[in-house]
Structure 1
Amino acid sequence: MARCYSGEMAAKHPLPSLWLISDARNDAGLEAALARLPKASGLIYRHYHLPLPQRRARFAVLARAARAKGHRVVLAGSMAQARAWGADGAYGAARVIGRGGKGLRLATVHGLREMAQAARCDAILLSPVFPTRSHPDGKTLGPLRFHLMAARACVPVIALGGMDRARARALRWPRWAAIDGLV
């Protein structure tokens, strides 16, 4: 396992416990979902389906709605792109979001190798915990494997994959994210 990082960014700026992840399938309900989230939650903006000009315009609309509720806004992409768009940080594979500069780094992790690569990030999104609508028959971690892997993480872990409020309670995990489970 890689050497652990102190997580300076997470310490200076508290990490939200609840994250809404944008996607083509939940776009129509995002503004309402952002308004319902507890204050100081987070939005991870993906919207990979949109051409760049429309993606950036939709980001601006959702970022305003999120910030009006005190939410953190993270952009799927590089840290340089996140800074250019005015996001609080970047989301993606650890090798894509990079190490330099300021901003919250949320790395997507599916196994121990990616977890080691993300040791210098501020948090990881460990997935998939449960079956998802997009991959209903895909291989999942399940609660036991999720907890075993999370115990090895050097940074805070956010559960992702088939998550909703009931599953978060059953998993007994303080931080989680959802695409469909919050809209």
Structure 2
Amino acid sequence: MNLPAGYSDDARTLWNAATALNRAAAAVSPGAAWLPPLLFFTDPDRTPRPWETAARLPVGSAVVYRAFGAAEAVQTGERLRETTATAGVRLLIGLDAELAETVGADGLHLPERAAHRAVEIRSARPQWLLTAAWHGAETTPDGLDALVLSPVFAAGGVSASRPPLGAERFQILARGAGRPVYALGGIDATNAGRIGGACGLAGVDAIRTAFDAPSQIRT
């Protein structure tokens, strides 16, 4: 789906790269067609008003709300649920299944340390979309729809201390994972086209900046 008028050049570049990856992944693994091409990860410091970005995301994208124990988690989650439902965007909650139930989310994103819980969660909520962080371990837990591998490029946030994989290493790991893999970490409009083997793109700052920015139509 092409973006309508009003989006920045960077937003179009990211969306086009994400949807191209998703189509290529679906050709190999039909189940990947059900996955959102673009995942917007929230962060308490870097995305203080995530519902504003969520409202601008293309239909079919997803937001991953990471509350990190915030006191206002329910209020923010409910605001994101209302926004994403209106925008045709799915909502995942980071780790907290109770919060996901409360706000009526579409699934969970698990940190790597909790990925083993996927089978149990899948049994209780078979309709949920389940993703988990992954950093290239040889084995991956069952029950997950997709993995999120990072950092592909030098990144901020929790990935800042990890050395970047690079596009080539990412592709090797993704193709050997046995399930769809999202690319996360340092990805923006300048390097999104270098990604191969992913089912879509994920990000924090780059997605917020691109989709909050006004259109850069030249006259």
TM-score interval for Structure 1 and Structure 2 normalised by the shorter chain: 0.7 to 0.9
Select the residue among 23, 34, 49 that pairs with 1:14.
34
Task: Tell me, yes or no, if the aligned pair for 1:78 and 1:97 is still in contact at 8 Å.
Answer: no
Q: Say if 1:85 and 1:95 are closer, same or farther in 2 by CA, change over 3 A.
A: farther
> Who is 2:23 aligned against?
none
Task: Tell me, yes or no, if the aligned pair for 1:119 and 1:154 is still in contact at 8 Å.
Answer: no
Alignment of 1:110-149 (within 5 A): 110-113=135-138, 116-134=139-157, 135-136=159-160, 138-149=162-173
SS of equivalent to 1:112: coil
Task: Tell me, yes or no, if the aligned pair for 1:77 and 1:97 is still in contact at 8 Å.
Answer: no
Deviations along 1:73-114, whole A, 9 cap, x unmatched? Answer: 10011545523431111111312444322211101101224x
Structure (1 or 2) with the larger CA radius of gyration:
2
Larger relative contact order (CA 8 Å, sep ≥ 6): 2
Q: In the TM superposition, what is the alpha-carbon distance from 1:128 to its structure 2 partner? A: 1.0
> Who is 1:39 aligned against?
59
Select the residue among 44, 60, 82 that pairs with 1:24.
44
Alignment of 1:85-124 (within 5 A): 85-92=103-110, 93=112, 94-99=115-120, 100-101=123-124, 102=126, 103-113=128-138, 116-124=139-147
Q: TM-score, normalised by structure 1?
A: 0.82
Q: In the TM superposition, what is the alpha-carbon distance from 1:166 to its structure 2 partner? A: 2.8
Structure 1 residue 50 corresponds to structure 2 residue 70: yes
Deviations along 1:105-127, whole A, 9 cap, x unmatched? Answer: 101101224xx233430001011
SS of equivalent to 2:206: coil
Q: Say if 1:79 and 1:174 are closer, same or farther in 2 by CA, change over 3 A.
A: same
Letter of the 1:16 partner, please give it.
P
Task: Tell me, yes or no, if the aligned pair for 2:133 and 2:147 is still in contact at 8 Å.
Answer: yes
- State the aligned residue count: 170
Select the residue among 169, 173, 186 that pairs with 1:162.
186
Select the residue among 186, 200, 203 that pairs with 1:175.
200
Q: TM-score, normalised by structure 2?
A: 0.69
Q: In the TM superposition, what is the alpha-carbon distance from 1:180 to its structure 2 partner? A: 0.8
> Who is 2:216 aligned against?
none
Letter of the 1:62 partner, please give it.
L
Q: In the TM superposition, what is the alpha-carbon distance from 1:169 to its structure 2 partner? A: 1.6
For 1:174 and 1:77, how far apart are their aligned partners in 2?
Answer: 21
Deviations along 1:153-175, whole A, 9 cap, x unmatched? Answer: 22111101112233222224450
Structure 2, unaligned runs of 5 or more: 1-29, 209-219
Letter of the 2:167 partner, please give it.
P
Task: Tell me, yes or no, if the aligned pair for 2:109 and 2:132 is still in contact at 8 Å.
Answer: yes
Letter of the 2:192 partner, please give it.
A
